[in-house]
Amino acid sequence: MKIQSILIDFVLKEWLLIASGVGFVLTSVYTKHFPSYSTQELQVLFILFALFVAVKGLQRNGLISRFSQSIEEGKAIPLKLVATTFFLSMLVTNDVALIVVVPLTLTLNIDRKDILVIFEALAANAGSALTPFGNPQNLFIYWYYDLHPVTFITTIAPFSLTFLIILAISSFIIKTKTNTHNPAKLQNINMSAYIYGFLLIIVLLTVLHVLPFLTSLLVVIFALLFDRKTLRVDYALLFSFFFFFGLAENMKMLLASEIKHSEHVFLFSALASQIISNVPATLLFAKFTTNWEALLWGTNVGGFGSLFGSLANLIAYKLYVTHENTNNPVIFTAKFLIIGYMAFFLAIGLYFILPGL
């Protein structure tokens, strides 16, 4: 019975790894094609690993815990978390924003963390949509169609700003209570925490291409030499990404012939994102359309909804369900999907209401 319980718990927590692995194998067999991985995709995996290590180091050495306690001392905790995620994602991408904010949220001594993490995922997708470098699909569209920054931002601004207002209002409705029966213990901040903070900045600058890719190796080297426990990160999530990249390439092969002559770029790109994620959907539809406005909207709207809509969703979901202080992954999954699809269909309605799109 104990082995069965462990197995069930593993499936509930790591179903994403299992599903992506099975999907990878089945689509590879069906297409008779083993996916090839670009240098850029392998770099993304390594940068994610470096980010996980840096954030883990901040957690282990007390800096995130101390910062979370400072948030608890004030009011409007949900608003502060959602706003931080939204504006941070504009600058350092939605993935990085969630890697930083979600662990911070999970250390807070409050309830309703599940709703907060879901709101943060929505805020990350909405905020990152506003800038050309907020997420990978925006950067691709910006360069591929040779767009002016002002034109780009004004086109997608109604989407981002509308959801900023909706999430801000929702954060006031969601009331959190401090868990007074389980007060958080003050944790000393070690010198290593400041080193990991510096290393995190280095990784962020690598993401922004300010520093060369190999600079992110410094995080791993430091952990190997001085703090190997920090290397105990979520490898299941990294392998999920590995399988997911291959699955996306296989799905592109399967879907390409179906959408070649489609004129419904917005709806098809939004719906395709639910299956293959918005980044592969962008690469796929860009081959068949000059309507970059519809593609920009479709792939960013497609970030809402399913767990596969964007890699940011997968990150937020996995960080929550694998955290030691969370439970009920099935209930959390249901909440994530319900709220996500409410935002998805609302965003679709917004697109058709706005003139000129």
Q: What is the pLDDT of residue 67?
A: 67
Which amino acid would we find at residue 10? F
What length does the chain have? 357
Helix axis angle for 191-207 and 63-72, nearest 10°, is 90
Reported as half-sphere exposure (CB side, CA atoms, 13 A), residue 68 has a value of 25
SS3 track for 57-115: HHHHCCHHHHHHHHHHCCCCHHHHHHHHHHHHHHHHCHHHHHHHHHHHHHHCCECCHHH
pTM across the whole model: 0.74
Tell me how far apart the alpha carbons of residues 300 and 346 are, in angstroms, rounded to a whole number: 13
Q: What is the pLDDT of residue 165?
A: 96
pLDDT in tens, the chain (357 residues): 567 666 766 776 677 788 888 888 998 999 888 888 888 778 878 888 888 888 788 878 767 666 666 666 667 888 889 998 999 888 777 887 888 888 888 887 777 888 999 999 999 999 999 988 788 888 788 888 888 889 999 999 999 999 999 999 998 887 776 655 455 555 566 778 889 889 988 987 887 678 888 998 999 999 999 988 889 887 887 888 788 778 877 877 776 666 655 558 899 899 989 987 888 788 778 777 888 999 999 999 999 999 888 888 988 998 898 887 777 888 999 999 999 999 999 999 999 998 666
Q: What is the pLDDT of residue 65?
A: 63
3-state secondary structure of 278: helix
- β-sheet bridge partners, residue 65: none
3-state secondary structure of 247: helix
Name the CA dihedral angle for 100, 128, 172, 67, rounded to a multiple of 10 degrees: 20
Q: What is the pLDDT of residue 13?
A: 67
CB atoms within 10 A of CB 307: 21
Helix (H) or strand (E) segment spanning residue 116: helix 113-128
Q: What is the pLDDT of residue 178?
A: 64
Q: What is the pLDDT of residue 153?
A: 93
Q: What is the pLDDT of residue 113?
A: 85
